[in-house]
């Protein structure tokens, strides 16, 4: 059976098939279906509304492009009050290596949704060169992904489940407790950054190494990401930052369109809309943020669901904290380009 993939858009992929009435009445978790025999599931990328402030989460070529040691932490709680809804944490650290004209980074991500948990650790490296008053970086990352499945939360149509004490899926391939497996994961990306324009393209699971459990296999499907954003000065105190984020596995696609403003190089506010057609409309994100000091920024997003899944949840919350050392690290020649501090 071919593998399937999905993004966390409530109107596409697996979410189109959610039976809200059953979900509301019985509290069935989002991901309850295992396929008999040698199963093939697809590993999906996590969803973040604050992607424009955390490009390292999707593109290893961004390592070091904050021009100093930069650390970012994110917590996301998606579709609050919906049982089994995604909860994720992401942390990354990266810095430029001027003496090598490159950047180095590390990321750690924990993603829980329904009966599965994904823990990924990756190290990233890129090479940077000057191009048309900007920096072009080409990067790669490699690491390991651990997937854990909780068989006690699975339900099959013919299974026996008595008061939670008896678990019999009537399927020898399905576990009744927790099982885990490891697989390598690789990414590749290209990123261009200038004073007014940023463009990036990347791919995850280049090799798509199968995750081998004892009785079944999960086969990751290669995902592609494209980002583009601009930075335009409207007046002495107000900046405009439009951006777009495309996530696709070629079969299914989801797009975020965002418009943000920065006031006095300090306060950020705006909105982001996820979806590009009637079938993919997912959410409207309300975004705000500010500089706590010259090195620390905090951002928050509240997603209002727009698809039919709004009947079963009260929105999504995401908070991000970024710390930038804001000074040169090590020795070597820094890039010739000097960015406006408001873009950092």
Q: Which range (25-39, 105-119, 133-147, 208-222) has the least confidence? A: 25-39
DSSP run (H or E) holding 24: helix 20-26
Q: Identify the pLDDT of residue 26.
A: 37
Q: Identify the pLDDT of residue 4.
A: 33
What does CATH list as the number for 13-343? 2.40.160.40
Q: Is 14 exposed, middle or buried (0-12, 13-18, 19+ CB in 10 A)?
A: middle
Q: Which range (2-6, 40-44, 188-192, 255-259) has the least confidence? A: 2-6
Q: Identify the pLDDT of residue 177.
A: 84
Name the residue with higher pLDDT: 10 or 79. Answer: 79
Q: How far apart are the first and last CA of the chain?
A: 46
Confidence label for 158 from pLDDT (cuts 50, 70 and 90): confident
| pLDDT score of 335 more than 70 | no
Q: Which range (26-35, 92-101, 115-124, 297-306) has the least confidence? A: 26-35
Q: Identify the pLDDT of residue 218.
A: 87
Closest alpha carbon to 41 in 163, 159, 246, 181:
181
How remote is the C-alpha of 68 from its chain's centroid? 23
Q: Give percent above pLDDT 70 in the chain.
A: 83
In the chain, % helix, strand, coil (3-state, to 5) comes to: 10, 50, 40
- Could you read off the pLDDT of 3-24 as tens digits, one per residue? 333 345 444 443 444 443 333 3
| pLDDT score of 2 more than 70 | no
Give one DSSP letter per residue of 227-286, joined into a string. EEEE-EE-SSSEEEEEEEEEEE-SSSEEEEEEEEEEETTTEEEEEEEE-SSTTT--EEEE
Closest alpha carbon to 268 in 292, 252, 247, 244:
292
- Which pTM was predicted? 0.82
Closest alpha carbon to 88 in 124, 59, 50:
50
Q: Identify the pLDDT of residue 7.
A: 43
H helices present in 107-174, as ranges: none
**CA–CA separation, 208 vs 222, rounded Å?**
6
**CA–CA separation, 28 vs 58, rounded Å?**
31
Compute the mean pLDDT over every residue in the chain, rounded to the nearest whole number. Answer: 84
Confidence label for 331 from pLDDT (cuts 50, 70 and 90): low
Give every CB contact of residue 309 below 8 A, 6+ residues apart in sequence. Answer: 10, 11, 15, 18, 20, 79, 82
Confidence label for 233 from pLDDT (cuts 50, 70 and 90): very high
- Could you read off the pLDDT of 307-328 as tens digits, one per residue? 999 999 999 999 999 999 988 7
């Amino acid at each position: 059976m071919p593998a399937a993939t999905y993004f966390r858009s409530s109107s596409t992929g697996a979410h189109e098939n959610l039976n809200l009435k059953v979900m509301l009445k019985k509290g069935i978790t989002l991901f309850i279906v295992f396929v008999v025999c040698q199963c093939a599931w697809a590993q999906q990328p996590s969803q973040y509304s604050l992607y424009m402030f955390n490009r390292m989460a999707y593109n290893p070529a961004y390592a070091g492009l904050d021009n100093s040691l930069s650390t970012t932490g994110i917590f996301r709680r998606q579709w609050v009050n919906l049982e089994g809804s995604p909860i994720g944490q992401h942390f990354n650290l990266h810095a430029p290596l001027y003496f090598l004209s490159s950047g180095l980074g590390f990321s750690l991500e924990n993603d829980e949704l329904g009966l599965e948990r994904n823990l990924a650790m990756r190290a990233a490296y890129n090479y940077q060169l000057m191009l048309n008053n900007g920096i072009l970086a080409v990067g790669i990352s490699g690491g390991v992904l651990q997937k854990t499945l909780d068989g006690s939360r699975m339900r099959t149509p013919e299974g026996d489940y008595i008061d939670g004490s008896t678990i019999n899926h009537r399927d020898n391939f399905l576990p009744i407790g927790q099982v885990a497996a490891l697989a390598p994961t690789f990414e590749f990306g290209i990123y261009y950054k200038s004073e007014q324009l940023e463009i990036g393209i990347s791919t995850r699971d280049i090799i798509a190494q199968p995750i081998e459990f004892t009785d079944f296999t999960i086969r990751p499907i290669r995902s592609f990401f494209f980002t583009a954003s601009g930075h335009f000065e409207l007046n002495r105190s107000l900046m405009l930052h439009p951006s777009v984020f495309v996530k696709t596995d070629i079969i299914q696609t989801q797009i975020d369109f965002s418009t943000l403003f920065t006031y006095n190089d300090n306060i950020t506010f705006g909105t982001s809309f996820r979806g590009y057609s009637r079938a993919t409309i997912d959410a409207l994100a309300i975004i705000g943020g500010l500089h706590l000091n010259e090195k620390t920024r905090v951002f928050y997003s509240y997603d209002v669901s727009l698809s039919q899944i709004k009947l079963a949840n009260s929105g999504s919350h995401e908070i991000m904290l970024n710390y930038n050392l804001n000074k040169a690290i090590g020795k070597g020649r820094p890039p010739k380009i000097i960015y406006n501090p408001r873009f950092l």
